[in-house]
Amino acid sequence: MTVIESQITQLEKELENMPLKEALQLVAARFPGEVAFSTSFGMEDQVITHVIGKNKIPMKVFTLDTGRMFNETYEVWQSTANIFDLNIDPFYPDALEIQNFVNERGINSMYLSVDNRKECCRIRKIEPLKRALKGVAIWVTGVRAAQSANRQNFKMFEWDEAFQLIKFNPLLHWSDEDVADFIHQNNTPYNKLHDQGFLSIGCAPCTRAVQFGEDARAGRWWWEDSKKECGLHETKVLADIVDPELTQDNLK
């Protein structure tokens, strides 16, 4: 067993039935200055942010601002930062790279081909994510098994080969009801688009409300015929900020 495998096994044993607050506190204490939580301001992320902010747990909180987010997302970002007196560190696309992309392919070129959409995601999300995770040993995410069939195979602690760090998914076994109950019982700010049928919220041009009977992620890249979260990709879906169709090769 490698050192990393031993670390993961030990963490899994220690945190198996530990409440969220205590689990986050333990990880922050065990890896001081090396823990980062990524938020896209979805309801799961707001649960974790609430616990971090209310209890002043010492870990970096960051988000990827793609430049094409809903105004409602910016509103919940601001209200969350104000309520918890929390610094949420933004990471942006490289200005020259996105400028060249838009000039060459067009501002809404993601609708024209899957390749265009993936390239847009790479520039706006994957490259900033690489910068955000530099020097990080533990990446905390809001991933839940109930979000998709692909995520049901995730574990609470996993080694991410692409980013060379340990992912910690503390809400992995929380249900939709668990998340909603926490939000409403604790008056946690949340994105009001959730009340309008937006179950998964990404960039504004690439997200619509989910219709009755549709899959929870049907509102993402709805114009594409390509399959999403089909389980054929080398890299698992890590969080809403990561495009589920980007493979490990795209992350390198």
Q: Which residues are catalytic?
A: 230
Rounded Cα distance, 98 and 111, in Å: 16
**Region label for 231, one of left (φ > 0), alpha (ψ between -120 and 50) or beta (otherwise):** left
What count of Cα atoms within 13 Å lies in the side-chain half-sphere of residue 99? 3
Residues 6 or more apart whose Cβ sits within 8 Å of residue 143 = 44, 151, 154, 167, 169, 171, 172, 237, 238, 239
As to burial, measured by CB atoms within 10 angstroms (0-12 exposed, 13-18 middle, 19+ buried), residue 96 is exposed
The 10 Å Cβ neighbour count of residue 248 is 13
- Are 129 and 155 a contacting pair, CB within 8 Å? no
The CA-based angle 219-154-130, given to 5 degrees, is 75
